[in-house]
Every structure is written in C-alpha cells, then in structure tokens.
C-alpha cells in the first residue's frame, strides 16, 4: 500500500498515496491504530500532495479520525489538496471540520 508517515513535533504527518479509496482508507486506519498504541499522537496532518482521487471511504476515514482526536483535544488537518479532492471536501462538508492548508509547512507557520 502506498503511504508514508513521519512524526514532526506534536504532529503525525500521513503522506497519502495517489488514491484514497476503501483499501487505502482501511490501511491508513490500521496504521493509525498501531501508531496510536505506540505513541500519544493527538494531531494529524494528511498530506494530499500526491493524491488525485478520494472516494466516500476516504471521507469517512477522515471524519472518524477527526471525531476520535477532537474528543481528546487533538486536531486533524489536510495539506496539498488538489482541486478534485478539494471539491469533495466542500461537497461532503469536510472543510467545516478539517482545516485545509496549501502545504504541510503552512501548518507549522500558521498560514492557510
């Protein structure tokens, strides 16, 4: 499965692959559960720089991560979202709960 991650300060950065479909969403969920058992991660940045497609499974996974982390004071945000995926953020209402940044570094610089 196409996915990389790294920890930078208080953030876990998930570098999403080309497609965020059912299989990729499930893989990310499993990885996040494993990392959650190993570390106290409460802030996640989903880096969509390489992503050109996302379906409802991806939307559901993002909502689930938001719900879980917001209950413990954490945050979920997205960066590098292409126009097609950004449209899905707006149609689904994700943009109301997950802040979208132009680039990952903008999260750390406080820019939108």
Alpha helices (runs of H) in 48-99, residue ranges in sequence order: 56-70, 83-92
pLDDT band for 1, please (50, 70, 90 cuts). Answer: low
Domain edges within the chain:
3-106
Rg (CA), the chain: 13
What's the pTM value of the predicted model, to 2 decimals? Answer: 0.93
For residue 6, pLDDT beyond 60:
yes
Mean pLDDT of 5-14: 93
CATH for the 3-106 domain, from 3.60.150.10, 3.90.850.10, 3.30.365.10, 3.30.750.24: 3.30.750.24
Given a cut of 80, is residue 2 above it in pLDDT? no
């Amino acid at each position: 499965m196409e996915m990389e991650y790294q920890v930078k300060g208080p953030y876990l950065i998930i570098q999403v692959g080309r497609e965020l479909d059912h299989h990729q969403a499930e893989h990310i969920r499993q990885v996040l559960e494993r990392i959650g058992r190993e570390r106290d991660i409460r802030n996640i940045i989903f880096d969509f720089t390489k992503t050109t497609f996302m379906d409802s499974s991806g939307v559901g996974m993002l909502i689930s991560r938001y719900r879980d982390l917001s209950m413990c004071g954490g945050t979920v945000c997205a960066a590098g979202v292409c126009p097609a995926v950004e449209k899905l953020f707006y149609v689904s209402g994700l943009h109301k709960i997950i802040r979208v940044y132009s680039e990952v570094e903008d999260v750390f610089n406080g820019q939108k």
